[in-house]
Amino acid sequence: MPGKVLMSRKPEIKILNIFDSTLGQVQMFENAGVLVVFFFLLIAGIIFYYNYQENSINAQLAEISQSNAFRLAEIVFNMPELSCSYNNARFYSCIDKQKIEAFKNYASKNLPEYFPLLGFSQIKVNNEIIYDYPQENTQTLAYQLPIVVYDSTKQTKYCGDILRGECLPSTLEVKYYG
């Protein structure tokens, strides 16, 4: 078919609608905004949870330290090295003055021997330090317990019905470094 000219199709011209492209951009910005808000809330939640857990752990550590301090006070209160006794009978809340002096001298020379039992602490009877093994930069908890200090050197008086000597009211102070 000579002479016939092939007609080609007219190319289609697409007209870009300005409104379609801005709508896509707006949707992308909306998605980005939602992600920013989501991550902001996630980070705020993580920070809140971290602070809550930290406060909870600190409260538990303080409670453990307080129970350790009380346990230490009970140990000192019932140590045979310090308690009053007569014919193998121990008297409640009574500490022998002569045993205090002996313990003070012995413990000051042999701190490592009492460390497993008493740890980092300070023990006072009548504001007189009888054991001191401090630990720096730690929280200090103290307990004061009322006691009776028995002095057997003063034989002119009676302490109760059994013990001959003087009994004076006093305090036992235990500081726990923990």
- CA angle 130/87/109 to nearest 5° reads 25
pTM of the full structure: 0.65
Mean pLDDT per block of 10 residues along the chain (178 residues) reads 60 60 78 92 96 94 85 85 82 86 90 88 89 83 86 74 79 86
Secondary structure (DSSP) of 63-95: HHHHHHHHHHHHHHHT-TTTEEEETTEEEEEEE
Q: What share of the chain is helix, strand, coil (3-state, %, to 5)?
A: 45, 30, 25
* pLDDT reported for residue 74: 86
Q: Tokens 């199709």, residue?
A: 9
